[in-house]
Structures are given as C-alpha cells and as structure tokens.
Amino acid sequence: MEQEHQHITSYRTYAIVLTALLFLTAITVFVTWFDLEALTIVVAMAIACVKVTIVISYFMHVKHDKLVFKLMVGMVFILILVIFLILFSDYLFR
Amino acid sequence: MEISAIENSYLKHGTKYKGILGWLTSTDHKRIGLMYMYAIMIFFLVGGLLGGLMRLELFRPGQDYITAQTYNAVFTVHGVIMIFLVVIPGLAAVFGNILMPIMIGARDVAFPKLNLFSFYIYIFGAILAISSQFLGKGAPDTGWTFYAPYSTDTNTNVVAAVLAAFVLGFSSILTGLNFIVTIHRMRAPGMTWFKMPLFPWSLYATAWIQLLATPIVGITLLMIIAERWFKIGFFDPNLGGDPILFQHLFWIYSHPAVYIMILPAMGVITEIIPTFSQKRVFGYKAIVFSSVAIAAVGYLVWGHHMYTAGMSVTARWFFSLLTFIVAVPSAIKVFNWISTMYKGSINLQPPFFFTMAFIFNFMIGGLTGLVLGSLATDIHVHDTAFVVAHFHYIIFGGMGFAFLAAIHYWFPKIYGRMYNNKLANTSCALIFGGFTLLYFPQFIIGLQGMPRRYFDYLPKYEWGQVFSFFGAIVLGIGILIMLINLFKSARKGKIASSNPWGGKTLEWTIASPPTVENFEEIPIITEGPYEYK
C-alpha cells in the first residue's frame, strides 16, 4: 500500500497561528467602533476569510495535503463567493 | 443451490444479535439501506394519506370535512413529511446505501458506524417531525417552506418542525460525506473515475450538494428559532429584518435539494436503460459532466422561486438566465437515454415501463419548469395549481417513478426473489394513469387561475378537482397492488438468479442476495461498466 507522507507541524508554528487568530479577532472587534456603512459586511467577511484560511491551512493540515483536497476546499470558497455575488445582485440593485 | 444464496446472505447474517436487534445494530450498508426503505415507505404512506385528505376536502367547493386551519396544517405536514422524510433521503439513502458500495467493488461504505448513526439521526428527526404535529399549540401551518415573517409569528408548533428539519439535515450531510469518501477511497482496483457506473456518479454529485448546501438551511432554521425566542431581527421588518433574506437563504438550500432528489433518480434511469436495451450507454462522459453541471449550476438558480417576492430586476433576469442554462444538462441526459435505446434490444420488463413513465413525466415537469423559469409567464402562474402540478411532476413523476423503477430493477438482487411480472405491470399502468389523472388537470386549472394552498375555490375549478380526486384513488389502488406484490414476493417469490436482467455492472456479478462481505475477492476492473456485445 502507498505510504503517505506525514507532516509534523512544530509547536512554534501553532503558537504563531494562534496569535494571528487572536490578533484578527481583536481587529474584528476593533473595526466595529467605526461606521463603515456598506463596507461593514465586506470588512467583517474579509477578516473572517483570512481566519478561516489560516485554520484550514494549519489546524486542518490542508497546506500539507494533496492537490485534490486543496482543490476541493478551493471549490467551496469559490461557490460561496459566487453565491454572495448573486445574492448581492438583489440587494445592491433594489 | 439458490435457496442457499438467501441462507448465506446479508438477510440472514449480520451482527452477533438475531432478529430485530440484529438489524437495528447492524452496520452493514445493505441492512441500513433496507431500514431506510421501510421507514421511508411508512412515511410515504402517512404523507400520501394526508394528500388524500386534501383531495377529499377539495372534491367540492366550500368547507366539507376539515376547517381552513386544519387544511393549512395538513398541507404543511404533507410537505414536511414528503420532502424531508421521503424524497430527500429517498434514493440516496436507500439504493445508494444498498448498491453504491457494491457497484464500485467495495465491501461497505467508508464509515459504516457513521452510516448507522446517520440512520438514527434520521429516525430522531422523523420522530420530532411527527411529534411537532401533536405537541404545543397545534400543527405548524406555514407550509413546508416555513416562510418568514409568518413562521416567526404564528402560534402553531413551528419550532419543533423546524428543529426536525435541522436534525434531518445532519443525517443528510453525514450520508453525503460518507458517500464522497467511499467513492474517492474505496473503488475497486482498476475502476478509474470514467470506469465507474453512472449511478455512483450521480450519487457523488448529489453528495456534494448534501454536504455544502444543507448547512445553509440548518443555520437559516436556527435563525427562525432565534427570532422567535430572542426577538433578534433577521427576517421580521418590525425588528429591522428582511423577509426576503429568509427566502434567499431557504432557497439557496432548497433549490439544490431538488437536485438531491432528482440526480440519483437520473442515475437510476441511466442504469436501467442500457440493461434493458442491452446496449452500451450513449455518451457516458456527457452524462457524467451533465450530472456535475446540474449539481454546480443548480446551486445558482434559487431566485426563480422568488420572482414575485420583491427582488431587484437585475437579480430576476439573472436568475431567469441561469434557470434556462440548467435545463441544458437535464436535456442532455434525456437525449442520451433515448440514443441509448436507439437500435437496442429492448426488453419490456416492469423496471423499463417505470423508466419510460419517468422520462414522460420528467419531460412534462421539466418543460413546465421553463414556463415557471421565464419571468413574464411566472407572474401569471406563480402560486397557482400550475406550480403544484409542475412540482409533483418532477418530484413524484420524476423521483417517485425512478424509485419505483429502482425497486423493481434491484428487487431480485436485494431479496434474491422475483416478483409477479403481471401484477407489477398492472400496478405500473395504474400508478401512471392515476398520477396523470391526478396532476395533469392541475396544470389546466392553474393556468385558469386556481391558487395553490387554498381549501376553497370558485365553482369553475371544480371539474379539475374532481378529476384529481379520482386520479388519487386510482393512484392509491396502484400503489396498494404494487406493495402487496412486492411484500409477498420478498417472502415467497420465485427464486431469482444472480443476473436476471443481463446487467453488466458489478452488483450483477455476485450472488442474489449478496453476502455480508459482498465479494469473496475484490474484483479487478479492466473495462467500462456497460460493455454490452
């Protein structure tokens, strides 16, 4: 049977990832102090997307996974993006 | 020799327990599939009786047997049971479970315990759904779509019904996940993606929809509960919410859910036609890619349920365009089926008759879908009986007939016995005739303006309601004859050979019924699944 490559991530990397996530959470809270009007949701979603990407890449090991799994995750991102775009073809043009 | 096939099969051997406990604790994909089937049949009969009650009330104008409020509850419960308990799990959970692992040359699904867990989640959701009808302040009356803001205001027992749909969603997600992993990881050696039969292909496309779309409706349903309990303004304009947002979120799942129902149905039909034409399937890759295209584009057409709801004009024409695009891969499949039959050795057996009925109904359902997908005509027929007819032509005429075709096709494999052909053909004719008599008049009175979900109507629509009532009776008799035939034959039917139809896919190479392990040795695949001479 095919021997699959096992990648071991260091504690240091995990610590950096954790710090980055906490920092981004703080930013999420921080931006709520400002009224960004129509951009509010865009900024919130952008920060959330960065956090999700970090979690999926490191905690869920997709960074070290095969291309096919990266493509699957990428496909989901694209799907959500397209759904958002279509959804806003209603809200932005009402 | 053949009796010993039944004695050695999964029907007689399972876990260390015997009898009913042996079934309830079994992680064998075939037993789990059969348990789904029996549960779904019971729910189908309950949902069907509620449908019959509606037809009885609609037989004459005015109030006859039930009040308007009861009628609202009856069509809601009918919808919730039929959609969430019958047609969404229908083909994937039953025939996907029983046959997909065998068709790809595996001994079981990737996660057998998760598979059993999915079944119990389904049963738990079903109990919640049924109990929602009796608990609290009356059965929910929102329709199966739970449209806000009414669903956030009504005093009826909406929360339990919504929770039931939420729980059932988990079962669907886990089944989808299981199937994706199984198809990726457990195909027999040599079975490349393009040597895989087309029913597993359709399940694969379906599984992705189950996995990605179901969480959206789950969250949406929780938002209803949050609004009801904590007055958080998601949908209610009085609380600062937007009711159209609910419709968006609901249909982002529920339109792809139509493809959860119909894609496996198309897969079943694609298996049956080559077998009964004894001919290689026409355009294998076109069918594969059309399944994937339907799954992909099907995500993006949800707004065609909302043309009259107050969306922007830009969104409306965009959704209409996308709706017409999704018709293309569906039509590709129909052309492929007909081309497969062309110059084939047609063998007129019950599964083939059900398949022909499927194609006929699906064509009517599909083309009337374009009437609804077109912006201008939809304004006229929106929320009329025309929609009811279109919907039932796709769901019952399509998925339902494919389910019946599937049970008649794989019956000898599942039970190792054969049913009475004459009775099967009679029931097929009655079911098809009754179905047509029941739903076709709804197109006409819908075009004339008969609204859906009304328990009373103007006398000019009476003729259509009367035809539909008698259609329902014929349909009921057909279903009863079919059930008697199948249940009797499952116990006492003539012993079937391992390949009674001359099929070429892997399930026809093993004993009928299969053993617990399916294969003595995992086969090595060297050629495509439909290599007829």
Write the CATH number for B451.
1.20.210.10
pLDDT digits (tens, 9 = 90+) for B319-369: 999 999 999 999 999 999 999 999 999 999 999 999 999 999 999 999 999
pTM summary value: 0.93
DSSP conformational letter for B453: T
Q: Which residue of A has its CA nearest to B253?
A: A83
Query: Which residues in chain B have their CB less than 8 angstroms from residue A92's CB?
Result: 312
Tokens 């129902």 correspond to B261
Residue ranges per structural domain of chain A: 11-91
B155 touches chain A (CB under 8 A): no
The domain total for chain B is 1
Asked whether the beta carbons of residue A93 and residue B248 sit closer than 8 angstroms, the reply is no
- Contact between B175 and B118 (Cβ < 8 Å): yes
User: Is B318 close to A89, i.e. CB distance below 8 A?
Assistant: yes
Round the average pLDDT of chain B to a whole number and report it.
Answer: 93
Average pLDDT over every residue of B459-480: 97
Does residue B399 contact residue B265 with C-beta atoms inside 8 Å? yes
CA proximity to B388, closest of B445, B463, B466: B445
User: With contacts defined as CB-CB under 8 Å, which chain A residues touch B299?
Assistant: 79, 82-83
CA distance B483 to chain A (A): 42
Quick: pLDDT tens for B103-125. Answer: 999 999 999 999 999 999 999 99
Give the pLDDT of residue B2.
Answer: 55
pLDDT digits (tens, 9 = 90+) for B4-59: 788 888 988 877 788 889 999 999 999 999 999 999 999 999 999 999 999 999 99
| Nearest beta carbon to residue B252 from set A83, A89, A92 | A83
* Chain A interface mutation, best of B254, B312, B317, highest count of A Cβ atoms under 10 Å: B312
Alpha-carbon distance B514 to B12, whole Å? 11
Query: B319 contacts in A (CB within 8 Å)?
Result: 86
Q: Which of A79, A89, A93 is opposite residue B299, by nearest beta carbon?
A: A79
Is A94's CB within 8 Å of B312's CB? Answer: yes
The first and second tokens of residue B349, run together, are 């057996």
Helix axes of B284-297 and B198-230: crossing angle, nearest 10 degrees: 10
Nearest CA in chain A to B297: A79
Residue range B388-402, pLDDT digits in tens:
999 999 999 999 999
- Cβ–Cβ under 8 Å, residues B329 and B273: no
Sequence-distant (6+) residues with CB within 8 A of B447 are: B380, B381, B384, B386
| B299 lies within 8 A of chain A by CB | yes
The answer for B 304-363 residues in CB contact with A (under 8 A) is 310-315, 318-319
H helices of chain A, where? 11-31, 39-54, 67-91
Q: With an 8 Å Cβ cutoff, are B312 and A86 in contact?
A: no
Please check whether residue B525 lies inside any domain of the structure.
no
pLDDT at B155: 85
Q: How far is B312 from chain A (nearest CA, A)?
A: 4
Residues 35-94 of chain A with CB under 8 A from chain B are 76, 79, 82-83, 86-87, 89-94
Phi, then psi, of B109 in degrees rounded to 5: -75, 170
Task: Specify whether the CB–CB gap between A90 and B311 falls below 8 A.
Answer: yes
CA B526 to each of CA B107, B191, B198, B507, B532: distance values in angstroms, whole numbers, following the listed order: 19, 7, 17, 16, 14
Give the Cα separation of B57 and B239 in Å (integer). 38
Task: Tell me if B519 is assigned to some domain.
Answer: no
- Nearest CA-CA distance, residue A93 and chain B, Å: 6
Domain span at B489: 2-509
pLDDT band, very low/low/confident/very high, at B132 (cuts 50, 70, 90): confident
